[in-house]
Amino acid sequence: MKASFSEDESKDARKDSAPLVDPDELEDWVIHQDDSIIALNKPGWLVCHPSKNGPWSSLVGAVRVHFGLDQVYLAGRLDRETSGLVLIGKDETAGRKWQKALEEKRVRRSYWAILVGELKEEMHVEGFLGKDPHSEVFVKQRVTVKSNKSKRAQTSFLPLHSANGHTLCAIVTGTGRKHQIRVHAQSIGYPLVGEKLYGLDERYYLDFCRAGWNEDWLERLGMRRQALHSRTFGFSDGGPSFVAPLAKDFLSFLVDALGMDPSVETILEEQATRWVEARFQGE
Residue-wise pLDDT tens digits, 105-162:
788 889 999 999 999 999 999 999 999 999 999 999 999 999 999 999 999 999 999 9
Phi and psi at 5, nearest 5°, equal -60, 140
Phi and psi at 89, nearest 5°, equal -80, 140
CATH architecture of 110-234+247-283: 2-Layer Sandwich (3.30)
Note whether 13-104 and 110-234+247-283 share their fold: yes
Q: With respect to CATH, is domain 13-104 assigned 3.30.2350.10?
A: yes
CA distance 197 to 5: 12
Give catalytic status of residue 35 as yes or no. Answer: no
pLDDT of the residue at 279: 82
pTM for this predicted structure: 0.92
Q: Which of 16, 70, 79, 201 is catalytic?
A: 79
Whether pLDDT at 209 is above 90: yes
pLDDT band, very low/low/confident/very high, at 11 (cuts 50, 70, 90): very low
Amino acid identity for residue 194 in this structure: G
Map out the domains of the chain as residue ranges: 13-104, 110-234+247-283
Whether pLDDT at 2 is above 60: no
